Chains A and B, each alone.
Chain A
Amino acid sequence: MMASAFAVLVILSAFLGAQCSGTCNNPTVVSHAYTTTEPLLSSETVFLVEFELSCESSLSLSALVDDGTTLMPVPRALGVNKYQLSWSMPHKSAKKGTHSIRFFDDEGAAVIRKALRYGDDPSSTAVPLFTIDFQHNGLNRGIWLAPPFIAAIISLLVWWLAHMTKTKLQE
């Protein structure tokens, strides 16, 4: 009786401990990213990464993008394990290609903050909980040469050829 009660207590405390400790081992992440592609539809390039975590407890996450020096807190939807990280930067600063975001829990974030304060390289200090990679294809700047310009050039060329032939005939 006592033994079974004790066993139940141990299991319950372990469960509660897992809930309260706020750690997550090997979480599965389902993510979806969005980046600006049309310069007329946004004055800055925005990046959005929305993801869902399969953790028992809801974590407080912070994120570091590529080699950045700003640790961003990750906001969370209410009631569900859905998170959305978003930031913006001028069009010129946004680089094309694959970008990597590293996510840290409170402990990892504290280590990163300490490293950033003392100027150390944050990537060598803390191990991220998980990483999300996404692709930025750059802005769709449209056609390089405008078709009206090309049409004007062609018509000038045709006129010039005709004019040269006419003067040659008249000589």
Chain B
Amino acid sequence: LLLSSRCSLFPDHRSLSCIVLAAVVLSDRVAIMISRRLGFVVLALTVVAAMLPGSHGTAHLLASKVILNEHKVENKDLTVQFSIYNVGTSTAQSVVLQDESFSPSEFSLVQGLFTVSWERIPMDSNVTHIVIVRPLADGVYNVSSARLTYTDDSHNTYEGITSSPGFIQVTPYQEFSRRHEHHLVDWLAFLAMSMPTIVFPFLLWYKSYSRYEKLKNKKE
């Protein structure tokens, strides 16, 4: 109102206030025209976008690394299981799991790949990856985490680590076999060695017994 009054009192087209007033009125009129049409379009787009799954969510991966062995034994298989869960609200893309915790000087790889990638892990789903290694010597080892990288729909890259099993005790093979092997050969050897003390007295007795039985039968 102030601007319009100033402009009408001083009808100089080049004055700043007149220019500003004209611009405001024009933009206002244009905005009203456009807004009615655009309003519907914007509303429609918002509704559609809200219905699209994961279009405004983020992926969130939780990963665990677990050793499934009850007994960890020198030169025997060690089963390592990785589980990755997507607890986010959108699909995780280009998921790369990289494990460098088993150095080749201490562990030999029996089966499995240390570095793998999944193209996508949908939300509310999980994947498993297993690697079999073999400790080359007994002792205490510190098994650390594996690294995880992934991106989501908004092309943000995330990096994380899995849980780590920590310190593991690898028992020497001799100690494990003493407790858990069947030792059949040892028992057969024991049987062979104990036979003389039983068999010889038995043979002596049987010799005299059979002779006595024969005499008894002859008498009858």
Contacts and interface: CB of A to CB of B under 8 A. Distances in A.
Contacts of B154: none
Contacts of B198: 158
Nearest to A60: B119
B76 A38 contact: yes
Interface stretch (B3-11, B110-118, B137-145): B110-118
A32 to B, nearest CB: 7
A148 B129 CA distance: 41
Contact of B187 (A73, A147, A158): A147
A151 B79 contact: no
B184 interface: yes
B111 A40 contact: no
A73 B120 contact: yes
A146 B119 contact: no
Contacts of A44: 68, 81
Interface string A70-81: 001101111000
Interface of B: 68-71, 73, 76-79, 81, 96-97, 110-113, 115-121, 127-130, 132, 180, 182-184, 187, 190-191, 198
Given A75-B113, A86-B128, 4 more contacts: A75-B117, A78-B96, A86-B129, A151-B191
Interface of A: 32, 34, 36, 38, 40-44, 46, 48, 50, 60, 72-73, 75-78, 82, 84, 86-88, 142-143, 146-148, 150-151, 154, 158
